[in-house]
C-alpha cells in the first residue's frame, strides 16, 4: 500500500569505564595559606543502553492530509564503584578521608505522539499534535568510611531516590510554504507531573506544572546559497535525578554538591 509506511529502529550498547582523577587545590586568604585538598578518585563501572522507535504514517486521500503515529522507548543502567582518598587541611587542621561508594542508576523512558495535518490549500496546512512522555529513574548510593581497613556505613552520604516525570502536550499549528519563504506557527499546552520518593528520609515529592509553549519559525530563501531564518521556540526540561536528590557529592571537598528535591522544571 503506497499510502502508508511503517518504520522500526532499535539500538543498544554496553560500555565499561575506568577513570582515575588526582588533584591538588590550595586556597589563600590575604596572601596567607588558608586551606588545601589533595585527592585521588578512582571510578570503575559499566553502562548498558537500549533504544527503540516505531513510526506509522498514512496518507488520507487528499494531498497533504496525513496521519502519523510514533512511539519510542529507552532504557539505561549505570553501575559504578568509586574510591575516594583525600587529605584536607583547613587552617592547620588535617582531615583524612578514605571512602568507598557504590552507585546504581536505572532509568526508563516511554514516549508517544499522534499528529494529523489538514490542507487548507496547495501550500498551507493546519496541524494538530498530541504527545505523551514518561521518564522514570531510580538511584541508589551507598557510602562506607574506611578506618583500620574496616568499612563503616555512612548514612549521611547514602540514599535511595526515585523520580517519575510525566507530561501530556496538546499542540495546534499552521504551516505555509511559498516559492521563496515558509512559516510555521504553533501553540502548545503542556501539563506535567513530577513525583519523587526519598527513601532514607521517608519523604514524597509531588509537583504539578502547566505551561504554554508558543513557537514560530520563518524561512526566506534568496537563492540556493543564501537564506534568512528566524526561529523562536519554548520548551520545558525536567530536573535530573542528580539535581533532585539531596545527596552530598564530596568528590571535591572544595565544591560540595547537594541536590534540591524542590527544584522546578526549566522553562526556556
Closest CA to 213 of 195, 192, 194, 236: 236
CB within 8 Å of 251: residues ≥ 6 apart: 39, 41, 82, 84
Identify the residue whose cell numbers are 501530556.
168
| pLDDT at residue 166 is higher than 70 | yes
Q: Are 88 and 95 in contact (CB under 8 A)?
A: yes
Give the residue-averaged pLDDT of 222-248.
80
> Cα(188)–Cα(236) distance, rounded to whole angstroms?
11
Higher pLDDT, 178 or 69: 69
CB within 8 Å of 131: residues ≥ 6 apart: 111, 112, 113, 167, 168, 169, 171
CA 110 from chain center: how many Å?
Answer: 13
Higher pLDDT, 127 or 262: 127
> Cα(251)–Cα(262) distance, rounded to whole angstroms?
23
Of 11-20, 187-196, 258-267, the range with the lowest mean pLDDT is: 258-267
> Cα(48)–Cα(15) distance, rounded to whole angstroms?
6
Identify the residue whose cell numbers are 529502529.
9
The DSSP 8-state label assigned to residue 239 in this structure reads P
Q: What is the pLDDT of residue 216?
A: 94
Instruction: Give the mean pLDDT of the chain.
Output: 87
Amino acid at each position: 500500500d503506497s499510502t502508508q509506511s511503517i518504520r522500526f529502529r532499535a539500538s543498544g550498547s554496553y560500555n565499561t569505564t575506568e577513570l582515575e582523577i588526582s588533584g591538588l587545590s590550595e586556597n589563600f586568604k590575604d596572601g596567607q595559606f588558608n586551606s588545601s585538598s589533595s585527592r585521588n578518585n578512582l571510578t570503575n563501572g559499566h553502562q548498558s543502553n537500549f533504544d527503540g522507535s516505531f513510526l506509522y504514517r498514512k496518507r488520507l486521500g487528499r494531498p497533504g492530509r496525513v496521519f502519523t503515529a510514533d512511539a519510542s522507548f529507552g532504557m539505561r543502567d549505570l553501575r559504578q564503584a568509586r574510591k575516594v582518598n583525600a587529605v584536607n587541611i583547613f587552617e592547620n587542621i588535617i582531615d583524612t578521608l578514605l571512602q568507598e561508594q557504590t552507585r546504581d542508576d536505572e532509568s526508563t523512558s516511554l514516549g508517544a505522539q499522534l499528529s494529523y495535518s489538514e490542507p487548507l490549500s496547495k501550500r498551507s496546512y493546519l496541524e494538530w499534535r498530541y504527545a505523551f512522555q514518561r521518564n522514570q529513574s531510580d538511584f541508589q548510593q551507598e557510602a562506607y568510611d574506611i578506618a583500620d581497613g574496616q568499612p563503616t556505613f555512612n548514612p549521611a552520604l547514602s540514599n535511595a531516590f526515585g523520580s517519575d516525570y510525566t507530561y501530556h502536550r496538546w499542540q495546534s499549528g499552521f504551516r505555509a510554504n511559498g516559492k521563496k519563504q515558509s512559516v510555521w506557527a504553533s501553540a502548545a499546552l503542556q501539563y506535567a507531573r513530577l513525583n519523587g520518593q526519598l527513601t532514607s528520609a521517608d519523604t514524597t515529592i509531588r509537583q504539578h506544572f502547566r505551561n504554554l509553549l508558543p513557537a514560530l519559525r520563518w524561512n526566506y530563501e534568496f537563492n540556493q546559497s543564501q537564506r534568512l531564518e528566524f526561529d523562536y521556540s519554548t520548551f520545558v526540561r525536567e530536573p535530573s535525578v542528580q539535581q533532585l536528590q539531596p545527596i552530598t557529592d564530596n568528590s571535591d571537598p572544595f565544591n560540595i554538591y547537594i541536590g534540591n528535591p524542590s527544584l522546578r522544571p526549566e522553562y526556556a
